[in-house]
Amino acid sequence: MTPDVLLTVSLFTLACAVVVGGAGLLTLRLLSRTSLVLQLMVIALATVVSVVGGMAAVASQTYVSRHDLTVFYSVASVAGLVSLAMAAVLSRQLARDSRSLRSAAASIERGERIAATDRHSNNEFTALAGELAATGEHLAESRVRENQIEESRHELIAWISHDLRTPLAGIRAMAEALEDGMVEDPERYYTQMRGQVDRLTGMVDDLFELSKIHSGTLRLRLQPVSLYDLISDTVAGLWPIAQAKSLDLRFAGEKGLTILADPRELSRVVGNLVMNAIQHSPAGSSIVVSVTASTGSGAGATDHAVISVTDAAGGIPEQDLSRVFEAGWRASGPRTPVAEPLGTGGAGLGLAIVQGIVRAHHGEVRVRNVPGGCRFEVLLPRHPIATR
């Protein structure tokens, strides 16, 4: 074939492809809001017409015999029909996958969990289906957490309302009795009123502390802290309350453990855990507070100081272990206190405050059941931490 003929063939083929391609693009633009099946059929048809048209134009210029031209058209027609059939099958598969993904997205919108499936026509749709399933799972978990937080908020409001109403009613009743002159021993009433005011002050302080934790405004004043001295002082301050309930409160700790922490906030952590044990422990039982060192193992492991408070107040139901640190939540099982010492009642905020303070120290707090009771553990890193 001479260069002139080759150039002529190329120009005819290019012209036919440009014309058919332009018509196909215009058709696709007009069909932009139609189904994917129809659009893929248009693409397949434009491809076949472009090839057949180009070859027909070239054949007419190279003086191919009528017989050969008929054979060519027959072969091109069969190939074109097969191509259109394959395009139809593929487009139906893509449309089915599209409907499946759209249904999955609608299920996610309704809050339903969906399962990932490998029954898709290509890897891209399979990967997209997997991402949708993972997204649905994350959203479902987020909804569960949101519902738990909302439930916890309602419980907190209910408990706060109840716990505020009780001392306020007592103060009002004692004040009215004093005003009416019906009290034989006013000093005793003054002492009781002061105790109720202290109780209210403690609840307000807890709410303020919790609000700082949740808003991220809690600021730690870090300094080297001897855990033995801090915990022993805290336990000694709560010993009279434990004695009033006939509880054996003991501290067994290692000396020489020093960490970088806020002594005031850390003392509050220990005090809340011990007070929680005192409130729920039956008379005659023991509460053991200890501090030990834990050496990490493996790459990236961190040495910790472990503060533990173990009581004999009965275990916590397994389904409730994950909720003990929620603000306002209280167990209704065997750990419900029979009676609270005056001034020690709370609004279910103590353990939530413990968790917030420990996390601010880059530590971890956890709870597990032990024979006859449960054990709270606070893990604090022994290496210096950055000031917040």
337 and 281 Cβ atoms separated by less than 8 Å: no
| Report field, pTM of the whole predicted structure over 0.75 | no
Cβ(297)–Cβ(263) below 8 Å: no
Q: Which of 382, 295, 367 is nearest to 329 (CA)?
A: 367
For residue 65, give the DSSP letter: -
Instruction: Supply the mean pLDDT for the chain.
Output: 78
Given a cut of 80, is residue 380 above it in pLDDT? Answer: yes
Contact 302, 383 (CB under 8 A): yes
Q: Which pLDDT does position 378 carry in this prediction?
A: 94
Q: How many helices (H) and strands (E) does the chain have?
A: 8, 7
Q: Do 330 and 336 touch, CB atoms closer than 8 A? A: yes
pLDDT of residue 285: 92
Portion of the chain with pLDDT greater than 70, in percent:
81
- Is residue 63 left, alpha or beta, with left meaning phi > 0 and alpha meaning psi from -120 to 50? left
Residue 78 pLDDT > 90, yes or no? no
Nearest-angstrom CA–CA distance, 171 and 192: 8
Supply the angle between the helices 350-360 and 263-280 in degrees, to the nearest 10. Answer: 150
- Residue pLDDT, tens place only, 184-200: 888 888 888 888 888 78
Cα end-to-end distance, the chain, whole Å: 82
* Residue that the structure tokens 């099946």 belong to: 37
Show the tokens assigned to 106. 């609608």
367 close to 376: Cβ distance less than 8 angstroms: yes
Q: How big is the CA angle at 28 (ends 25 and 29), to the nearest 5 degrees?
A: 85
> Which of the four pLDDT bands, split at 50, 70 and 90, describes residue 107?
confident
- Determine the pLDDT at residue 47: 77
Helix ranges (H only) for 110-226 are: 123-179, 186-215
Using DSSP, state whether 150 is helix, strand or coil: helix
Give the pLDDT score at 8.
66
**pLDDT tens across 122-154, in order?**
677 777 777 887 888 888 888 887 887 777 677
* pLDDT of amino acid 297: 54
Per-residue pLDDT at 339 exceeds 50: no
On the question of pLDDT at 365 being above 80, the answer is yes
* Tokens 């909302």 sit on residue: 150
- On the question of pLDDT at 312 being above 60, the answer is yes
Q: How far apart are CA 24 and CA 39, in angstroms?
A: 10
